[in-house]
A and B are shown apart, each in its own frame.
Chain A
Amino acid sequence: MKLNLRIWRQDGPEDSGRLVAYRVDDADEDMSFLELMDVLNEKLILDGEEPVAFDHDCREGICGACSMVINGEPHGPQKATTTCQLHLRHFRDGETITVEPFRASAFPVVKDLVVDRSSFDRIIASGGYISAPTGAAPEAHATPVPKPNAERAFTAAACIGCGACVAACPNGSASLFLGAKITHLGELPQGQPERSDRVIRMVKTHDAEGFGGCTNTGECAVACPKEIPLDVISQLNRDYLTASTHRR
């Protein structure tokens, strides 16, 4: 199949950037979207041009590295699918596709489609963990976890940290990402001792990193390739309110 691409090119953080038109004539519907980018890049290199920089790694939909906005949607039009798992069979022959980086002030562009998402790491560093020094753990069966809690914790823990939620949000909020971690750890007995401190610290970091506030538009959950449910944000708000009012 033949595809027309309009791709965001930006030399570096200081460059203003622009959309550049390309064409790929020998695309195959079994290709993933990233393989289409590979084909384009091979052509650009042989033509003496710089290939398009983009983040990717596992290409199995789990590492969360790939981060592009395709036709206006983070990870493209396919529900619950990362860009690396998006296949060209979902596009029409001759279609024009616009490809841009994730846009949010907390995700500055590094080059072309590559953005800096280290703010997510700093949010986790400020409380997204259970303090469990190595070697001192009690016997695993000493603390049973009811299956429904374990299931909900898992559903929230499935977040891959890709940032699509932020890119989809009109406010550039990372509440879905934050709520997912709060819910994962808050659902487990092991996570209780640090529960209040965790949410206070993580929300503070979230705001300091330049993410916006949540106004419940729900775009984040629609864009999430792992279908993290919107109710993790309610959990986040509930935990935050409780912690703010009853903090020891």
Chain B
Amino acid sequence: MSSRSGVPYTDFVVGSPLADTAAPDGPIETRWERRRFGVKLVNPANKRKMKIIVVGTGLAGGSAAATLAELGYQVSSFCYQDSPRRAHSIAAQGGINAAKNYRGDGDSIHRLFYDTVKGGDFRSRESNVHRLAEISVQIIDQCVAQGVPFAREYGGLLDTRSFGGAQVSRTFYARGQTGQQLLLGAYQALERQIDAGGVTMYPRHEMLELIVVDGRARGIVARDLVTGETRSHLADAVVLASGGYGNVFYLSTNAKGCNVTASWRAHRKGAYFANPCYTQIHPTCIPVSGDHQSKLTLMSESLRNDGRVWVPQKAGDTRAPGDIPEAERDYFLERQYPAFGNLVPRDIASRAAKNVCDAGRGVGPTGLGVYLDFADAIARLGRPAVAAKYGNLFQMYQRITGEDPYEVPMRIFPAVHYTMGGLWVDYDLQSTVPGLFVIGEANFSDHGANRLGASALMQGLADGYFVLPNTIGDYLARGVEPVTADAPEVREAEAAVAARVEKLLSIDGDRTVDSFHRELGHLMWDHCGMERTAEGLHKALDRIPELRREFWQSVKVPGSAATLNQSLEKAGRVADFLELAELMCLDALHREESCGGHFRAESQTEDHEAARKDDEFSYVAAWEFTGQGSAPVLHKEDLHFEYVTPSQRSYK
């Protein structure tokens, strides 16, 4: 098949349309209530006999495992880290949204729903997002009951702040470490269930294959990362909560271990992968300093509440920031978007920063940076007040860059942060493989093409504490046939894992895993990053299969499989990134519109803003795997907007 612009590209086939049959219709305010009433319930005596595997222990996986065990199921929980407490949700700084309207500033469930659908650039599902907004209220109650130390007013009530893109104050926070505190809440709930015997914990274990028997997900093959032993674990249902795949770009704000392997293995076994090209670019990260760099560090977006973003007006102005007078500065966000100023949504702030740097007005040694200046805030509020709000972030910045942000403006640049694409799920969070549920960042459903600040933590906990524990019972109540470890599908999955591990160790070539990963990352950032063109995507699609071939011919993985072998772990993950990357580029190429964090240069308005094409692309692109080197099948799920009418977003 060719693109409409007449340029031929890698084949794909358009398959039958896809529909979310689990979502009720009717009034949106009562859909979740009606779905909950409609699900079949599992008798408590039967729950005790049912096994559920949960892969990943972040906000979604940790909360799900704890809650499922509370309900009485037998849960096995897996994470690759040495402790479930280290999942990367722990690094989220800013906050969590909830429609509590404690400030009386006009917030409501409907407004949070509205803002989230609009913020996602009309590429998320209304039903899912409304449910998320409803549950947000309960999440805060739940976390407070667990002892999450949210910020408080002097009178003892909860404090809130406003966050990127929102005009109401609905973000709850715990200094700059909200993710850490929410995760510790879920982790402690999980540890409580481990102690009570409801959860069997497998730390330092990595899922390397999904076991599908008679078309249903029945378990996983996992490698014990310490002993190297690979073993099958069987269950009545499998839940993936394995996070996002931003590390396909090599440099990202993800933890080094974040990977796509669990999702990708499931994709190869039949789970559709939806909207893989949707990437959240975060506007406020510390710029890259050199080739040695191993990751990017995000500075909380809350900094934009008080920091002013600017660059010199003249290109190539290398004076120190303090030597540039007011009149020669360009506060470009305030100038271009007077209503929202420095608080425009992430995709808009990111692209504006990229544009001024592309025009030669970037700052810092690489020219890839803009100033985030607190001088006005310090003058207005005083240094102690600024320190109280952002002290730990300022410290972190100083530690990394060696510069003091109280004295000189911070330098920031956009970076890959969060992936909105993921495995396709229905309203029950079930994938296209029955019995395989996908929650948190690993699924695609709630954020559309873009994500509002402070909405990821909300989704992780909503899915894990409240949605999945209700919907998974409906599947289990319908009955699951027993399966044994000697089933041919189990043996086959184990053999596939063993063969891949052996192959990686036997190549013994002359390039390290990291060198492949870095090259892939550059390719993806240049051609499938913030700004994409058909030409660039074609280049990437030409190069990725070559790179993949080179990898399987000349990668060097030292050591053995029978021990802790971090090179082997990385090699397996990069092998999967090399396959995912191609699908991301294909998805980006076929979507000839600009949307969310994804700017397609061919699709822009007269004043160079992103132009969405609702009449052609108002759908979820769900990709079916048909074999390595074989054309994937595109299944479209049309999106319907009954409550929020799609409109061009304008933050002018």
Contact = CB atoms under 8 A, between A and B. Distances in A.
Interface stretch (B5-13, B191-199, B451-459, B493-501): B191-199
B473 to A, nearest CB: 14
Interface string A116-128: 1110110011101
Given A45-B556, A125-B195, A158-B177, A184 B289 contact: no
B85 A161 contact: yes
Given A51-B567, A57-B256, A87 B88 contact: no
A208 interface: no
Contact of B149 (A64, A81, A132, A154): A154
Interface in A137-184: 137-141, 143-147, 150, 153-154, 157-158, 160-161, 184
B463 to A, nearest CB: 12
B203 A146 contact: no
B81 A65 contact: yes
Contacts of A35: 292-294
B84 A121 contact: yes
B400 A58 contact: no
Nearest to A85: B399
Interface in B165-208: 174-175, 177, 180-181, 184, 187-189, 191-192, 194-195, 201, 203
Interface stretch (B25-33, B140-148, B593-601, B617-625): B140-148
Contacts of B402: 30, 87, 89
A136 B173 CA distance: 22
Contacts of B86: 57-58, 63-65, 161
A65 to B, nearest CB: 5
B70 interface: yes
A85 B396 contact: yes
A44 B149 CA distance: 45
Contacts of B257: 57
Contacts of B155: 144
B141 A139 contact: yes
Contact of B465 (A61, A134, A144): A134
A25 to B, nearest CB: 13
A97 to B, nearest CB: 17
B512 A45 contact: yes
B147 A62 contact: no
Interface stretch (B213-221, B377-385, B557-565): B557-565
A190 interface: yes
A46 B557 CA distance: 10
A141 B201 CA distance: 34
Given A53-B564, A85-B399, A128-B188, A64 B195 contact: no
A160 B81 CA distance: 14
Contact of A129 (B149, B175, B192, B512): B192
Nearest to A61: B396
Interface in B394-434: 395-396, 399-400, 402
A73 interface: no
A117 B559 CA distance: 24
A60 B154 contact: no
A66 to B, nearest CB: 10
Interface in B118-158: 138, 140-142, 144-147, 149-158
B141 A138 contact: yes
Nearest to B402: A89
Contacts of B140: 140
Interface in B69-114: 70, 81-86, 88, 90-91, 100, 102
B253 to A, nearest CB: 8
Interface residues of A, number: 76
B382 to A, nearest CB: 19
B41 interface: no
B512 A46 contact: yes
Interface string B288-299: 011011110110
A150 B348 CA distance: 36
B255 interface: yes
A42 B566 CA distance: 12
A57 B81 contact: yes
A70 interface: no
B60 interface: no
Contacts of A95: none
A34 B293 CA distance: 10
Contact of A138 (B102, B145, B195, B297): B145
A51 B571 CA distance: 14
Contacts of B399: 61, 78, 81, 85, 87
A137 B144 CA distance: 8
B510 interface: yes
Identify which of A34, A46, A62 gathers the most chain B CB atoms within 10 Å of its CB. Answer: A62
A31 interface: yes
A157 B149 contact: yes
A132 B66 CA distance: 11
B144 A140 contact: yes
Given A62-B180, A85-B399, A161-B85, A38 B294 contact: yes
B70 A134 contact: yes
B295 to A, nearest CB: 5
Contacts of B194: 121, 125
Given A30-B290, A110-B564, A140-B100, A62 B90 contact: yes
Nearest to B188: A129
A215 interface: no
Contacts of B157: 141, 144
A169 B151 CA distance: 32
Contact of B556 (A46, A81, A89, A125): A46
Contacts of A59: 255-256, 294-295, 297
B226 interface: yes
B67 interface: yes
A130 B181 CA distance: 14
Contact of B256 (A56, A125, A145, A150): A56
B466 to A, nearest CB: 7
Contacts of B201: 121
Contacts of B292: 28, 30-31, 35, 38-39
Nearest to A81: B399
Given A34-B294, A45-B556, A190 B145 contact: yes
A46 B510 contact: yes
Contact of B138 (A55, A61, A135): A135
A114 B83 CA distance: 13
Interface string A74-102: 00001011000101010000000000000
Nearest to A78: B399
Contact of B147 (A49, A64, A147, A191): A191
A44 B142 CA distance: 49
Nearest to B399: A85
Interface string A219-237: 0000000000000000000
A185 interface: yes
Nearest to B226: A110
A53 B180 CA distance: 26
30 contacts: A30-B402, A32-B400, A38-B292, A42-B512, A42-B515, A45-B567, A46-B510, A53-B564, A58-B86, A58-B90, A59-B255, A60-B298, A63-B81, A63-B88, A63-B90, A65-B86, A111-B563, A118-B82, A125-B194, A128-B191, A129-B188, A132-B189, A134-B466, A135-B465, A139-B141, A140-B140, A140-B144, A140-B145, A153-B149, A191-B147
Given A45-B558, A125-B194, A129-B188, 20 more contacts: A46-B510, A51-B558, A60-B396, A62-B90, A87-B399, A125-B192, A134-B67, A135-B466, A140-B144, A147-B154, A150-B150, A150-B156, A154-B149, A157-B149, A157-B181, A157-B184, A161-B86, A188-B149, A190-B144, A190-B146
The 5 closest A-B CB pairs, nearest first, are A144-B156, A129-B188, A137-B145, A125-B195, A132-B145
